[in-house]
Chains A and B, each alone.
Chain A
Amino acid sequence: MIVLAFLAQTLRIAIPYLFAASGGVISERSGLIGLGLEGYMLGGAFCGAVASYYSGSPWVGLLGAVAGGAALALLYALTAIRFRADQVVVGIAVNLLVTGATRFFLRLAFHSSANSPRVPGFGAEQSGTGLASLARNPLIWLGILAIAVMAWLLYRTPYGLRVRAAGEHPEAALSVGVPVDRVRYVAAALSGMLAALGGAYLALDQHQFSAEMTAGRGFIALAATIFGRWDPFRAALACLFFAAAETLQIQLQGAQVIPSQFVEMIPYALTIVALAGVVGRAVPPAALGKATE
């Protein structure tokens, strides 16, 4: 029983990571740095909550989230591709933009700078901790599906082949007529939509949007992308591992075995270890962060 509760909790925590990390993988494999994931998630959470609130349907909420995430990601892609802006700078600016804009519009729409009112969400009113109540949330299944679909897209379809080529050697892709910029725009939009679904999951699970509710989850997803070496399945494993560590920390909170701050550090520390190559270097796509000529 404890094991099941542990698994359920882990999965619940992992779902937003799975969405955002699958977005991180497609974005970075195409050559666009995934620094904006946090912003797409937060934007998705906000748009999801607003759309759900006004329509009364969480499904419309999801549509709103997807639209919001795609719009933000396309803004990022437009500046990075068309205007050759530095991807690191714009990625960080997008996060800043979304943090400010969600609070601004929160006050405009709901006259509160902290929370939205209660919005329709998925599943039971008081979401239980069991697997059964979890399984009623369609986003759980969508999150798991996102990884599988991403792997299929990346490795089995013409578009995926083009993404891998665009991120590794865009000039070669261009020389055989692959429209690299278009491939990247699509990858950006997909990453924005997926990350936004992760954010929407948070808002719809808690039945409200609260300011800065993603709290760095986009960066954990980016960490999982890198720690998973830009592969959907390995990134998913990284997400589950990070989520399991968090679950452990929550369940041990009473016991005070390890200070919670040290558990918080795990994903970040592991990512640094992976990049430093203590056990087999993580080598990013060669053209990551570079605009085409």
Chain B
Amino acid sequence: MSSVESSASAPIAIRLSDIYKSFGPVNANRGASIQVARGEIHALVGENGAGKSTLMRILGGMYAPDAGKMEVNGRDVTGWTTAEAIDAGVGMVHQHFMLVPTLTVAENMMLGREPTSRGQLDSARVAREVTELSKRTGLAVHPQRKVADLSVGEAQRVEILKTLYRGAKILILDEPTAVLSPPEIDELWRVLRGMRERGETIVLITHKLDEVMEISDTITVMRHGQTIAQLTTTETTPAAIAKAMVGRDVQLATHYGETSSRSLELPSASLLEVRDLVVDGPRRASAVDGVGFSIAPGEILGIAGVEGNGQTELLEALAGLRPVRSGSTSVAGRDITALSVKSRGDAGLSHIPEDRHARGLVLDYTIAENLILGQQHRFTTGVRLDNDAIIDNARRQIDAFDIRPAVPSVPARALSGGNQQKIVIAREMSRGFQVLLAAQPTRGVDVGAIEFIHARLRETRNAGKAILLVSADLAEVLALSDRIAVMYGGKFAAVLNRRDASEEVLGPYMTGAEHAA
């Protein structure tokens, strides 16, 4: 179908003009404008922190803009509330699901729009309507199940149904594929296309260009809180979108070229040895279900896979942050399975954690204090902390890693994402270690910092250390790894040498369609 033409003639569903929004010191939107025609799928793209989610939350009524004008179907709706947005048929599916886990699917469906009969909740009616809607859209759910018992894919189905149940004609989805497996993503695309057929309007927030090319009709690109470009999908290329996103040329292809040529000449003694590891996760038993591997000195093993397939649990278990049900881990020949976090550090393990805001940094501690987190014993004389040594260390690391502002006494909270991550990287690379666990090392970091961090990781590898890399970004895994394992359902679905791996080869393993192990 020719959606581009139709969008040119179709009435405008959404028009946001010159939106400003700041949260304390952060200017999330600085004059952002977007226009979406009725009946099209519109992709809102940009790097993490570009202000996409804020702009859409303003549209959904969760935030009021500081300045600017909002129109939906030609009506001025500036600063409306969530309830008004829902009444007007605007529904939003958030990145973090907005479902109450202790309530049933039906209760979540009706929350905020509860039908009653004789003053009581009419649960039977909701169940009936949900079942009907479920049949019509092909999104299968059980109204009486508790949301806490649903899988991630099912929960997202409930989220979409929830907005449709409320009569959404304009659907906003915030990074909907981050937690889905490829078959689930295909299913989602099918549902969205069906909605477009029915004349409904969809805005898709994403930073994945392949998704943009596959599903969208038109595109708005955001950078640093501003809307940079409005494009028609059939008339643009991934490279052009990427350029608009980051503000300069990006060599998409070269990402793949720079791996080590040493992948086959593995020295005999491995630095990290993991055997038959079984780890329980917060939501299910055996989130890691019998994983074993080893990493040699001077080698990066990259773990690819859709998030939520046990990567987080695997790394936490290796770092000593999560108990292991069975199996063993050793670093440089020493069994560390039963050791504490601190003893693992002493045994030569270093760890860049997945979530720097929750784990990697104490946000209210200063740069200097954060630069010794986990190594506080080394900066202690007797029972006292050695302040001079702490400040010295901070000055050195700030220099070496170009952390800005270059002031040891500034709290980490005040730094940009990239500089915060540099604190973590600086700290973890400055301790004596043999094995580095690097989880999502460049998540939410600007392009310049990404290149810097990648260079450090390669240097570390070339210095003869072992690195276990976990990244949701397949390009990053392909760019850095010497060997690549694909994790699916808590197991390694495949382990390949870098030269045998590509997105096409890895894809089926990531979906569980193929198993090699």
A–B contact (CB under 8 angstroms)? yes
Interface residues of A in 169-225 (CB under 8 A from B): 169, 171-179
Chief secondary structure at chain A's binding surface: helix
Q: Which of B85, B98, B110, B120 is within 8 Å of A172, CB to CB?
A: B98
Interface residues of B in 67-110 (CB under 8 A from A): 81-86, 92, 94, 97-103, 107-108, 110
Q: Which of A68-76, A82-90, A154-162, A243-251 contacts B (4 or more CB under 8 A)?
A: A154-162
Cβ-based interface call for B10 (8 A): no
Chain B CB within 10 Å — which of A157, A161, A168, A174 has the most? A161
Q: Which of B61, B110, B111, B120 is within 8 Å of A173, CB to CB?
A: B111
Task: Determine if A173 and B101 form an interchain contact, defined as CB atoms under 8 angstroms apart.
Answer: no
Task: Determine if A161 and B107 form an interchain contact, defined as CB atoms under 8 angstroms apart.
Answer: yes
Q: What A residues does B112 contact at CB under 8 A?
A: 162, 173, 176-178
Cβ-based interface call for A12 (8 A): no
Q: What A residues does B60 contact at CB under 8 A?
A: 175
Tell me how far the C-beta of A175 lies from the nearest C-beta in chain B, rounded to whole angstroms: 4
Q: What A residues does B81 contact at CB under 8 A?
A: 177
Q: Which of A157, A162, A174 is within 8 Å of B62, CB to CB?
A: A174
Q: What A residues does B110 contact at CB under 8 A?
A: 161
Q: Quick one: closest A residue to B123, CB to CB?
A: A156
Q: Which of A158, A172, A174 is within 8 Å of B116, CB to CB?
A: A158
Tell me the bound Cα distance from A179 to B61 in angstroms. 13
Q: Quick one: closest B residue to A173, CB to CB?
A: B111
Cβ-based interface call for B178 (8 A): no
Q: Quick one: closest A residue to B163, CB to CB?
A: A176
Tell me the bound Cα distance from A240 to B136 in angstroms. 51
Tell me the bound Cα distance from A157 to B94 in angstroms. 27
Q: Which of A169, A177, A179 is within 8 Å of B99, CB to CB?
A: A169
Chain B CB within 10 Å — which of A156, A162, A169 has the most? A169
Task: Determine if A172 and B100 form an interchain contact, defined as CB atoms under 8 angstroms apart.
Answer: yes
Tell me how far the C-beta of B26 lies from the nearest C-beta in chain A, rounded to whole angstroms: 14
Q: What A residues does B166 contact at CB under 8 A?
A: 176
Q: Quick one: closest A residue to B112, CB to CB?
A: A176
Task: Determine if A164 and B121 form an interchain contact, defined as CB atoms under 8 angstroms apart.
Answer: no
Task: Determine if A176 and B82 form an interchain contact, defined as CB atoms under 8 angstroms apart.
Answer: yes
Interface residues of B in 4-60 (CB under 8 A from A): 60
Tell me the bound Cα distance from A175 to B81 in angstroms. 10
Task: Determine if A158 and B114 form an interchain contact, defined as CB atoms under 8 angstroms apart.
Answer: yes
| Per-position binary interface string of chain B over residues 458-493, scored 1 when its CB falls under 8 Å from any chain A CB and 0 otherwise | 000000000000000000000000000000000000
Tell me the bound Cα distance from A171 to B119 in angstroms. 26
Task: Determine if B120 and A156 form an interchain contact, defined as CB atoms under 8 angstroms apart.
Answer: yes
Tell me the bound Cα distance from A162 to B103 in angstroms. 11
Cβ-based interface call for A165 (8 A): yes
Q: Quick one: closest B residue to A170, CB to CB?
A: B100
Task: Determine if B83 and A157 form an interchain contact, defined as CB atoms under 8 angstroms apart.
Answer: no
Q: With A157-B120, A176-B166, A177-B86 given, is the CB distance from A171 to B98 under 8 Å?
A: yes
Task: Determine if A165 and B100 form an interchain contact, defined as CB atoms under 8 angstroms apart.
Answer: yes
Q: With A171-B98, A175-B92, A176-B86 given, is the CB distance from A165 to B111 under 8 Å?
A: yes
Tell me the bound Cα distance from A165 to B94 in angstroms. 17
Task: Determine if B100 and A164 form an interchain contact, defined as CB atoms under 8 angstroms apart.
Answer: yes
Tell me how far the C-beta of A149 lies from the nearest C-beta in chain B, rounded to whole angstroms: 12
Tell me the bound Cα distance from A37 to B424 in angstroms. 46
Cβ-based interface call for B128 (8 A): no
Interface residues of B in 110-132 (CB under 8 A from A): 110-114, 116, 119-121
Q: With A168-B100, A168-B103, A171-B98 given, is the CB distance from A177 to B119 under 8 Å?
A: no
Binding site for B on A (CB under 8 A): 156-158, 160-162, 164-165, 168-169, 171-179, 286
Taking A157-B116, A161-B103, A168-B101 as known contacts, 6 extra A-B pairs with beta carbons closer than 8 A to each other, sorted by chain A number, are A165-B111, A168-B100, A172-B97, A174-B82, A175-B92, A176-B162
